[in-house]
Amino acid sequence: MATLRDIQNRIKAVQSTQKITKAMKMVAASKLRKVQSRMLDLRPYADKMHDVLISLAGGADRESHPLLAFRPRKTVEVVVVTSDRGLCGAFNTNILKAAQSCIDGYKKDGFEVSISAVGKKARDYFKRRNVPTRNSWTGISGNVSFSNAGDIANDIKENYINETIDEVIVIYNAFKSMVAQTVTTAKLLPLAPLEEGEEESAPESEAADFIYEPSMEAIFDRLIPRNVDIQIYRALLESSAAEEAARMSAMENATQSCDEMVEKLTLQFNKARQASITGELMDIVGGVEALKG
């Protein structure tokens, strides 16, 4: 049976852990607020840009831009976006699980898979399993900026144009609400609205009637690379917001568990204290009885 002091020490330890988790929760909340507003600001722009491009691409010649070209798929690039730091619940586990099954799926179908790992967690995961990554980026999840996104996007564009990779998939946690993140698998390149064909067919026919200025090619030249940047930037921001939200709820749970723990230990402490007092009383009573005799 634990002594009174032992129990007291444990209570103290749990309480100081609780202080830490509480502080982390607060920090995550303030970071979340910052990144969330940036993400919400970007969303309409990213969506709109994607829409414009898709309606454009419908009427366009696929060969008119190297980033539009459909090639036979040989190598699929999977960009896995995780966080750099842990203590955010199942955030990274979920992503890595999805990534693994996605990679396995492509391998089974006979495609080469190359991996870009964003975030320390993804990098370490593949390193531990001796899976070679084509590239890895760290130090981003805490301070997402447009230039980080640009670096990643440029690398991807370059490799796509060089035909080292023929398809690009991005796997990231999308921020749905404060308590929910959804693992999202998005196809970045080639740009293909064709799979959800039925609904898209109406704007496509419209697209053919557009007047382009200065020319369709010139617009593509600017719009397509820019779209890759924006979509990557968006994935990073979403992931970063989702990470902070996940951390917040993980820390909230931890703080609650600490409360429960303290309660349980206090009960144990009181019981032990009572037991020891009872024991002492018995001793005294026993002693008195003995003297009487």
Q: Which residue has the tokens 């026993």?
A: 286
DSSP state, residue 70: -
Tokens of 160: 């796509």
Active site residues: 88
- Under the criterion CB under 8 A, does residue 209 sit at the interface with another protein? yes
- Of the pair 67, 258, the CB lying nearest another protein is at 67
Specify the pairing of strand 112-118 against strand 135-137: parallel
Specify the pairing of strand 180-189 against strand 167-177: antiparallel
User: x/- string (CB under 8 A) for another protein, residues 217-256?
Assistant: -xx--xx------x--x-----------------------
The amino acid at residue 142 is G
Residues 144-163, interacting with another protein (CB under 8 A): 146
Q: Which stretch binds another protein (CB under 8 A): 65-73, 166-174, 208-216, 246-254?
A: 208-216
CB-neighbour burial class of residue 239 (10 A; exposed 0-12, middle 13-18, buried 19+): buried
The CA-CA-CA angle for residues 123, 129, 131, to 5°, reads 70
Which residue in the set 72, 110, 132, 214 belongs to the binding site for another protein (CB under 8 A)? 214
- Of the pair 52, 261, the CB lying nearest another protein is at 52
Q: Could you tell me the smallest distance in angstroms from the CB atom of residue 118 to another protein?
A: 20
Q: Which element (helix H / strand E) includes 184?
A: strand 180-189
Q: Which stretch binds another protein (CB under 8 A): 33-41, 106-114, 166-174, 261-269?
A: 33-41
Residues 40-69, interacting with another protein (CB under 8 A): 40-42, 44-46, 48-49, 52, 56
Specify the pairing of strand 180-189 against strand 112-118: unpaired
Q: Could you tell me the smallest distance in angstroms from the CB atom of residue 172 to another protein?
A: 18
| Residue 59, SS3 per DSSP | helix
- Of the pair 35, 248, the CB lying nearest another protein is at 35
- Of the pair 187, 226, the CB lying nearest another protein is at 226
CB-neighbour burial class of residue 133 (10 A; exposed 0-12, middle 13-18, buried 19+): middle
Q: Could you tell me the smallest distance in angstroms from the CB atom of residue 227 to another protein?
A: 10
- Of the pair 114, 227, the CB lying nearest another protein is at 227
- Give every CB contact of residue 96 below 8 A, 6+ residues apart in sequence: 80, 82, 121, 122, 125
Cis peptide before 190 (omega within 30 of 0): yes
Are 10 and 280 contacting, i.e. CB atoms less than 8 angstroms apart?
no
Q: Could you tell me the smallest distance in angstroms from the CB atom of residue 235 to another protein?
A: 14
- Of the pair 45, 70, the CB lying nearest another protein is at 45
Q: Which residues bind another protein (CB under 8 A)?
A: 38, 40-42, 44-46, 48-49, 52, 56, 146, 206, 209-214, 218-219, 222-223, 230, 233
